[in-house]
Amino acid sequence: MRSAQRGVEALLVALKAHGGIVASLLDQNAPSGLDDRPGPAQIAATGPRAAAAPDEYELLLEMILEGSHLHYGPQRAVRTADPDLALLIGDQLYALGLARLAALADLAAVLELADVISLVAEAHAASDPALAAAVWESGAVAIGWGADERHSAAKELARTADPQAASALHEAATAASS
């Protein structure tokens, strides 16, 4: 399984080729501070649901994850000091990733990512980065392996700001990918 660092490097190549304002904001020294562990994009791409197009799943998820980083920090591959521009570019990256996913005709993953984006926003609004990370982890596993009742119940805990939500999401992800 590739590392999150390798995933961001592939994202840099794709966004440079895409061009436009996004390409002008790329930090060619990125990624910084990432280790050799896989991130959500790599985890999802190794699941059986993504087996037909693992590289495409990884890239589109890196786009959406980068959009999230532009919204909430820390910025990784795309960098700007302008917070309004960061939000706009983050939205553009969400749209690029979701469009690529729609082209794969994976409606279940589109719905899952809509939940991920929404729940991550709620977690950050509540100043709960641990919950945001757990949402990404569990969402990645649901995209790669499929969602189950445990995952759905854990997302419901997150929607209601239950203090056990992060651990329930982590447990759901671990159980589904085992």
On whether both 11 and 83 belong to a single domain, the answer is yes
**Does position 100 have pLDDT exceeding 90, yes or no?**
yes
Last residue of a domain, one of 85, 104, 123: 104
Angle of helix 165-177 versus helix 149-159 axis, rounded to 10: 160
Q: Count how many domains the chain has.
A: 2
Q: Which residues pair with 117 in a beta bridge?
A: none
Last residue of a domain, one of 104, 134, 163: 104
Average pLDDT along the chain: 94
On whether both 123 and 77 belong to a single domain, the answer is no
Burial class (CB in 10 A: 0-12, 13-18, 19+), 127: exposed
On whether both 18 and 99 belong to a single domain, the answer is yes
Say what the pTM is.
Answer: 0.93
On whether both 67 and 134 belong to a single domain, the answer is no
Q: Average pLDDT of 89-112?
A: 96
On whether both 94 and 7 belong to a single domain, the answer is yes
**Does position 28 have pLDDT exceeding 90, yes or no?**
no
79 within 8 A of 25, measured Cβ to Cβ: yes
Q: Average pLDDT of 137-162?
A: 97
pLDDT score at 33: 65
**Does position 30 have pLDDT exceeding 90, yes or no?**
no
Q: Average pLDDT of 155-171?
A: 97
Rounded to whole angstroms, the Cα distance separating 64 from 52 reads 20
The per-residue pLDDT for range 66-79, each reduced to its tens digit, is 999 999 999 999 99
Structural domain containing residue 155: 106-178
**Does position 137 have pLDDT exceeding 70, yes or no?**
yes
On whether both 50 and 111 belong to a single domain, the answer is no
